[in-house]
């Protein structure tokens, strides 16, 4: 089973939607652009957002078991995927990539 590199690529914030629809909260997300996590197979990396994991984990599992070419080849690197978490107010975009065994 391959390890999977998860890189935070972009974080959006839709203040208009937050002001109109979200109840005030103290804590939302502490991800930072450029932050890297390594998933050991399908195991969620330590300190990784559970909600984001719920969204990307099927792709992590597929890549860790050799899957590639999602959605008829939408990615230039077939052993990768660009996905966003399901937070409609502050979506975080992740690049997930299968690591070669010599990268581990």
pTM (global) more than 0.85: yes
pLDDT over 70 (residue 67): yes
Q: Range of 64's domain?
A: 3-103
What's the rounded Cα separation, in Å, for the pair 81 and 18? 28
pLDDT-derived band of residue 103, with 50, 70 and 90 as boundaries? low
Closest to 96 in 3D by CA, of 86, 1, 84: 84
Give the count of beta carbons closer than 10 Å to the beta carbon of residue 79: 18
pLDDT of 1 reads: 86
Question: Where is pLDDT greater, at 104 or 78?
Answer: 78
What's the rounded Cα separation, in Å, for the pair 10 and 53? 16
Count up the domains in the chain and report the number: 1
């Amino acid at each position: 089973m391959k390890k999977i590199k998860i890189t935070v690529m972009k974080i959006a914030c839709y203040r208009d939607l937050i002001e109109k629809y979200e109840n005030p909260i103290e804590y939302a997300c502490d991800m930072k652009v450029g932050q890297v996590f390594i998933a050991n197979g399908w195991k969620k990396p330590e300190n990784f957002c559970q909600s984001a994991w719920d969204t990307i984990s099927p792709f992590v599992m597929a890549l860790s078991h050799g899957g590639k070419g999602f959605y008829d080849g939408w990615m230039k690197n077939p052993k990768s995927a660009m996905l966003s978490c399901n937070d409609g107010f502050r979506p975080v975009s992740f690049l997930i990539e299968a690591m070669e065994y010599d990268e581990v």
